[in-house]
Chain A
Amino acid sequence: MPRARRQGSEPWTFERIIVHALLILFVLLAIGPVLIVIINSLKTTPAIFGGPFDLPTAKTFSLEGYKRVFTRGNFIVNYRNSLVVTVTTIVLTIVVSTLAAFALVEYRVRITSLIGGLFVLGIMLPIRLGTIPIIQMMMAWKLMDTLVALILVYTAMSIPIAVTLMVTYFRTVPTDLKEAARMDGASELRTFWIVLPLVRPGLAAVAALTMLPVWNDLWFPLILAPSKQNQTVTLGVQQFVGQFMNDYPALLAALTLGAVPLVVLFTLFSRQFISGLSKGYSK
């Protein structure tokens, strides 16, 4: 942001102090509760109740909670499931959505805008409300209680916004490049492949935007893949909360472990996420 950077050496005016103070206040409100969970997950039970807002000291520091999560819970399996579901969904979504978006930009025939409109409409479709037929479908195809069921539903859920978003990125690709490729006799698939690197920021945005709702979803894991070996992290933590209500260190450790990967990934991809969010929805 050139506008902001120019003012980097500005003196600490009253106005500037107020702006920072307000933002710091809101940041504390936003991450304070998260920090409380993390800090307490590193303490012994008496220390959690004795001084919930104190930092762990040499005396109260303990990793017992984390140890118990790994021995009593189902954590490694949960992680693996969430990872498989999220990564596969992202890959599938990116592959089919980029192909579709490329075609919607490239081939203007009468039904192009109709198909495009159908995808845009999907951004507003609450797919959860189709749960009863989804269950029946998954039962008929023997996919009930499998990760495949989750992947299929999540991919369908992610496609509309991904296609819409990729269309805005493909529109920025200069026509000359595609025409040149075709002149050289490249097939359409080859032309697609040639322009794909130019929409890389879009791919990152789609990945970032798909990841959050899939990793954090509670509804479909609860309904489509509830058994112990297919549970995702979100469902696993939810059940852990119910099961070990009085083992606070383990509970707080489970919550911390459930949040960390996504917070880290989001921090890395926050720029792509934010540009994707505003570009995708303000269509």
Chain B
Amino acid sequence: MISPAAAYRNLLLFVLPALAVYLVFAVLPLATSIVMSFFQTNGASGDTFVGLANYERLFTHPTISARFWNALLNNMQYFAIHLIVEVPMGLLLAALLTSGKLARSEGIYRTLLFIPATLSVVIVGFVWRLIINPLWGLVGFPLLGTESTALTTISLMSVWQYFGIPMVFLYSALLAVPNELVEAANIDGAGGWTTFWKIKFPLIAPQFGLIAILTYIWTFNGFDLVFALNGSAPGPNYSTDILGTYFYRTFFGSSGQLADLDLGAAVATVIFTTVLVVTAVYFWLVQRRLKSYSV
């Protein structure tokens, strides 16, 4: 009906506004960041190409690199805790919500359980600091003030906030399981438990990969909660420093550190690469194979 030339013109016309905003304010800054990381800014005299010098500093400079590796390791731990606690919790809740025993209260439970995810981290941070405050007496131990417990504590606060997300993903996947399959299993004498593990669970399995990769992307972009709790110098002794707070400190500077835009650009590029490479590998290797098995 529409000629190829007209289709081409229409496509570009309709897509242009969205594409322009997206390219200028998202893609371009990221690309510029990558370019910047290979330069040294020299004020009036212009920029000098320095190759991998910024990266060399980031990876090997005694004080700079120590903080960087520390932030990276902390971030991995932050991600792992999310994965280990959040996903089983989401699965349990999604299974309970779709157990068929709730009648009309299903929607109410679903909404209430998601409420923490709608709060800002400022509130989440404050509420939990209040509850675990030794002064108020729920825990007589400074969980946030001790190096060995601070990161786990913050991770669990974040898990508390976001467990609704895996719950909703798995809940929607469970609702999409064809009723006939469940009924056929019931006729064959399978109970609720067997039906769940033998029929429903394998069908929703591809969702776990997706949840894992999204959790990875979100936790490696983490910043807000740590900043809300501790500011840009996450203590005690940088035990809660993650890549986001490290990045912020690098380009804004902090008490012990001068602001350094080029190094900041290098940090951004490293985080970006870490996220993108893992995501790409995941989509090539895992998600494609999973898709071919699913219904």
Near A by CB (< 8 A), chain B positions 255-292 give: 261, 264-265, 268-269, 271-272, 275-276, 279
Contact, CB under 8 Å: B210 / A122: no
Q: How far is the CB of A266 from chain B (nearest CB, A)?
A: 4
Complex: A274 Cα to B122 Cα, angstroms: 23
Chain A residues with CB under 8 A of B121: 216, 218
Complex: A1 Cα to B227 Cα, angstroms: 41
Whether a CB of chain A sits under 8 angstroms from the CB of B127 is: yes
Per the CB 8 Å criterion, the residue count for chain B at the interface is 94
Contact, CB under 8 Å: A124 / B275: yes
Chain A residues with CB under 8 A of B247: 129
Chain B residues with CB under 8 A of A137: 29
Q: Give the residue of A4, A19, A96, A188 whose beta carbon is less than 8 angstroms from that of B96.
A: A19
Contact, CB under 8 Å: B36 / A259: no
Q: How far is the CB of A195 from chain B (nearest CB, A)?
A: 13
Q: How far is the CB of B291 from chain A (nearest CB, A)?
A: 11
Near B by CB (< 8 A), chain A positions 78-112 give: 92, 95-97, 99-100, 102-104, 106-109, 111-112
Complex: A262 Cα to B123 Cα, angstroms: 12
Chain A residues with CB under 8 A of B151: none
Complex: A89 Cα to B10 Cα, angstroms: 25
Per the CB 8 Å criterion, the residue count for chain A at the interface is 97
Contact, CB under 8 Å: A159 / B119: no
Whether a CB of chain A sits under 8 angstroms from the CB of B205 is: no
Given A133-B29, A237-B123, residue A126 in contact with residue B112 (CB < 8 A): no
Contact, CB under 8 Å: A109 / B8: yes
Whether a CB of chain B sits under 8 angstroms from the CB of A198 is: no
Contact, CB under 8 Å: B122 / A156: no
Contact, CB under 8 Å: A52 / B136: yes
Contact, CB under 8 Å: B18 / A20: no
Q: A5-B103, A126-B221, A159-B26 are in contact. List 7 more A-B contacts (CB 8 A).
A: A23-B93, A23-B96, A37-B127, A99-B15, A132-B36, A278-B173, A282-B173
